[in-house]
């Protein structure tokens, strides 16, 4: 463009200059100037053409560059898509392998031994069958309640299996006492054959550990505490905690347990007096308050009030994790932020904070917490690991000592209300043994009828529905080869209701069966069996004896017309609708 302007300027300059020349030379000069202007103009045109050619070449080069870049991007996209396809295919193959092929290989090993089971469906195994059976059982239970002519114990059958575990009943009838089933990619071996159960109970190898199923779901509640740990970690924790539940320690806690029962007795007496000498009470929350008080005092000593606050949080946490998290169990992804997970995480944080506050406040009290603290301080671990050790084991002891004992006490009082003849026998025994004196460890040992009643309660309504184990290595138990990773479930209620082991009246409440016969190892499992037998069974029996003896000595119990029999599995087998009793005061036995 500058060249065009320059050419115009030259032409203008020439025009002005030629007008000033002499007239005689003007034509000649004009011709020369025209020639020069023409040459200059052609040069300009040529320059412009050359410049335009170069610009077009540059544009073509830029276009080719863009095409090369687009080709590179397209190639990168193709490579990325190919990698994604390969990764997706690999993931599908991996998931298909772990969710289907691996469990199928394990099931095939059992089939080769003549052990079958219900056929699983991909990818959830037999979960759909279990849900269908539970739904049918609920409908049947609701129909039975509508047909029942009132409450008060009408139509009670002491066999909760058809209502709580209907799928096991169906499969046992179809496949026998040993069968397999699966939940997702987890294979289970259901065992209720006595000889195999005996071998499992006698096995002390660390290769037979606690079942890892539901560990991801229950992690906020139990963590790595003694109830869920395995191997050397479990052995270490057991050595620390076991001495705190030895008989001599339990004897020293009897007065404390009796003191904890006084608020409950006073509350019930006030209610009976206020209602004209007779009242209906739903006992569950009061029993839990007693159990919480006992464990809080024994665990935390002077900090027991804050310990009771922890119990309330743990009760909420138990409700939050009571249903299996199938996604977490199948994939290990327990950090998915579902509503239930977020609730469990928040409760876990609150419980952890409360426990660690008690740790900071603990003084010279000698209690279970001090033993756990001493062990943590002696272990060469970091602060975070030591805190986890303390918190997880405190939560485990809370749950084991609080929930199961409270539920067993509720079932026991229900049975005594249903069987007044045994209630009278226990009351007379307590009066004869104590003779107006406070309950102590020696008097507890003399209460034979009460002991039999509690044992029969634990037979009919064991708090734990299963004894669960896992083969951490390949094992052979009772002649059955059990591959590594298989979860072994022994249904406690099935063993407790086997007529071959207990007689024809197996579904009846008959404490006399414990009068002079000690149950066989494989037939009576309320506290588990083998190396992992419950450490606190002596503590639990003392707590139950004290509470029930004090209640029976003061009140006459009868099942309320409002009572509805409603066993349900929520980590423990508990009465879903609670236990309603009608209470009156005992007349003087003098």
Alpha carbon of 499 to those of 174, 504, 508: distances in Å? 19, 5, 11
Same domain assignment for residues 84 and 212? no
The helix, strand and coil proportions of the chain, stated in percent and rounded to the nearest 5, come to 65, 10, 25
- Range among 18-27, 49-58, 207-216, 425-434 with highest mean pLDDT value: 425-434
Q: How many CB atoms lie within 10 A of CB 331?
A: 15
Does residue 165 contact residue 490 with C-beta atoms inside 8 Å? no
Query: How confident is the model at residue 358, as a pLDDT?
Result: 79
* Alpha-carbon gap, residue 482 to 109, rounded angstroms: 9
Could you tell me the pTM of the whole model?
0.82
Evaluate if residue 151 carries a pLDDT over 70. no
Same domain membership, residue 288 and residue 245: yes
SS (H, E, C) 376-397: HHHCCCCHHHHHHHHHHHHHHH
* 176-212 per-position pLDDT tens digit: 999 999 998 899 999 999 999 999 999 989 999 998 8
The region that residue 494 occupies, defined by phi over 0 for left and psi between -120 and 50 for alpha, beta otherwise, is alpha
As a whole number, mean pLDDT of residues 295-304 equals 71
Which of helix, strand or coil describes residue 555? strand
Residues 133 and 104 reside in one and the same domain: no
Instruction: For residue 13, tell me if it sits in a domain.
Output: no
List the beta bridge partners of residue 480.
Answer: 477
One-character DSSP codes across 417-460: HH-HHHHHHHHHHHHHHHTTSPP-HHHHHT-HHHHHHHHHHHHH
Q: Higher confidence at residue 15 or residue 239?
A: 239
359 and 491 both lie in a single domain? yes
What confidence score (pLDDT) does residue 40 get?
79
One domain, residues 214 and 68: no
pLDDT value, residue 4: 43
Considering the domain boundaries, does residue 195 fall inside one? yes
Percent of the chain with pLDDT strictly greater than 70: 86
Answer yes or no: is 84 a known binding residue.
Answer: no
Same domain, 478 and 525: yes
Residue 255 forms part of a structural domain: yes
| Nearest CA-CA partner of 162 in 493, 560, 509 | 493
Q: Is the peptide bond before 123 cis (omega within 30 degrees of 0)?
A: yes
Whether the pLDDT of residue 416 is over 70: the answer is yes
Residue 22 lies in a domain: no
Q: Are residues 374 and 238 in the same domain?
A: yes
Task: Express each pLDDT in 471-486 by its tens digit.
Answer: 999 999 999 999 999 9
Helix axes 368-378, 383-398, angle to 10 degrees: 150
258 within 8 A of 251, measured Cβ to Cβ: no
Q: Is the residue at 38 inside a domain?
A: no
State residue 396 phi and psi, 5-degree precision. Answer: -65, -45
Is 578 inside a domain boundary?
A: yes
- Residue 109 is assigned to a structural domain of this protein: yes
Asked if residue 160 and residue 108 are part of one domain, the reply reads no
Q: Report the pLDDT averaged over residues 287-301.
A: 83
pLDDT digits 0-9 by tens, 229-272: 999 889 888 888 888 888 888 888 899 899 999 999 999 999 99
Which pLDDT band, with edges at 50, 70 and 90, does 552 fall under? very high
Domain holding 386: CATH number?
Answer: 1.10.630.10
Number of neighbours of residue 9 by Cβ within 10 angstroms: 10
- Which residue, among 420, 454, 414, 406, has the nearest Cα to 586 in the 3D structure? 420
**232 and 95 within one domain:** no
Shared-domain flag, residues 162 and 80: no
- Residue 481 domain boundaries: 126-147+155-585
State residue 303's pLDDT score. Answer: 55
140 & 66 share domain:
no
In angstroms, the CA 294 to CA 353 distance is 21
Per-residue pLDDT tens for 444-473?
999 999 999 999 999 999 999 999 999 999
Residue 153 has a pLDDT of 62
Distance CA 229, CA 40 (A): 99
User: What token pair was written down for 153?
Assistant: 């114990």
Given a cut of 50, whether residue 586 has pLDDT beyond it is yes
On whether both 172 and 102 belong to a single domain, the answer is: no
As for how many domains the chain has, the answer is 2
Domain membership of residue 338 (yes or no) is yes
């Amino acid at each position: 463009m500058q060249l065009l302007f320059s050419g115009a300027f030259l032409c203008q300059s020439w025009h002005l200059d030629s007008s000033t020349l002499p007239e005689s030379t003007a034509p000649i000069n004009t011709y020369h100037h025209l020639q020069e202007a023409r040459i200059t103009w052609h040069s300009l045109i040529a320059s412009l053409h050359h410049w335009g050619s170069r610009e077009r070449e540059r544009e073509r080069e830029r276009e080719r560059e863009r095409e090369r870049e687009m080709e590179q991007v397209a190639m990168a996209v193709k490579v990325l898509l190919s990698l994604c396809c390969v990764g997706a295919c690999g993931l599908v193959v991996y998931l298909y392998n772990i969710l289907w092929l691996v469990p199928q290989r394990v099931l095939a090993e059992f089939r080769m031994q003549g052990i079958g089971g219900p056929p699983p469906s991909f990818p959830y195994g037999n979960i759909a069958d279990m849900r269908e059976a539970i739904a049918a059982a609920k409908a049947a239970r609701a129909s039975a309640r509508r047909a029942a002519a009132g409450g008060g114990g009408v139509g009670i059958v002491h066999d909760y299996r058809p209502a709580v575990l209907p799928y096991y009943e169906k499969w046992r009838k179809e496949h026998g006492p040993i069968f397999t089933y699966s939940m997702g990619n987890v294979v289970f071996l259901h065992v209720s054959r006595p000889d195999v159960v005996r071998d499992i109970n006698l096995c002390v190898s660390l290769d037979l550990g606690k079942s890892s199923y539901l560990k991801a779901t229950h992690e906020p509640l139990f963590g790595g505490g003694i109830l869920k740990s395995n191997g050397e970690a479990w052995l270490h924790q057991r050595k620390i905690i076991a001495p705190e539940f030895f008989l001599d320690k339990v004897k020293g806690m009897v007065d404390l347990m009796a003191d904890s029962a006084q608020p409950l007795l006073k509350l019930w007496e006030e209610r009976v007096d206020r209602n004209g000498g007779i009242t209906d009470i739903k006992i569950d929350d009061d029993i839990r308050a007693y159990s919480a008080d006992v464990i809080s005092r024994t665990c935390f000593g002077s900090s027991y009030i804050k310990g009771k606050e922890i119990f309330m949080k743990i009760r909420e946490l138990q409700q939050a994790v009571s249903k299996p998290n199938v996604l977490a169990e199948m994939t290990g992804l327990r950090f998915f932020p579902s509503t239930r997970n977020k609730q469990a995480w928040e409760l876990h944080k609150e419980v952890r904070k409360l426990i660690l506050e008690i740790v900071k406040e603990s003084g010279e009290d000698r209690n279970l917490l001090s033993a756990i603290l001493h062990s943590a301080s002696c272990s060469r671990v970091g602060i975070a690991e030591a805190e986890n050790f303390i918190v997880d084991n405190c939560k485990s002891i809370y749950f084991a000592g609080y929930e199961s004992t409270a539920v067993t006490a509720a079932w026991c009082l229900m049975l005594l209300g249903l069987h007044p003849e045994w209630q009278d026998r226990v009351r007379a025994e307590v009066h004869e043994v104590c003779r107006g004196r406070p309950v102590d460890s020696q008097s507890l040992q003399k209460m034979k009828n009460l002991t039999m009643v509690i044992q029969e309660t634990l037979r009919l309504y064991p708090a734990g529905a299963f004894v669960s184990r896992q083969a951490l290595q390949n094992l052979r138990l009772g002649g059955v080869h059990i591959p590594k990773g298989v979860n072994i479930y022994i249904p406690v209620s099935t063993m407790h209701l086997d007529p071959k082991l207990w007689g024809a009246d197996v579904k009846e409440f008959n404490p006399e069966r414990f009068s002079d016969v000690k149950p066989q190892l494989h037939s009576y499992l309320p506290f588990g069996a083998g190396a992992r037998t419950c450490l606190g069974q002596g503590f639990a029996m003392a707590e139950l004896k004290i509470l029930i003896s004090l209640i029976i000595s003061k009140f006459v119990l009868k099942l309320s017309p409002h009572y509805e029999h409603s066993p349900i599995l929520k980590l423990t087998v508990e009465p879903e609708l609670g236990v309603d009793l009608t209470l009156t005061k005992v007349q003087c036995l003098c």
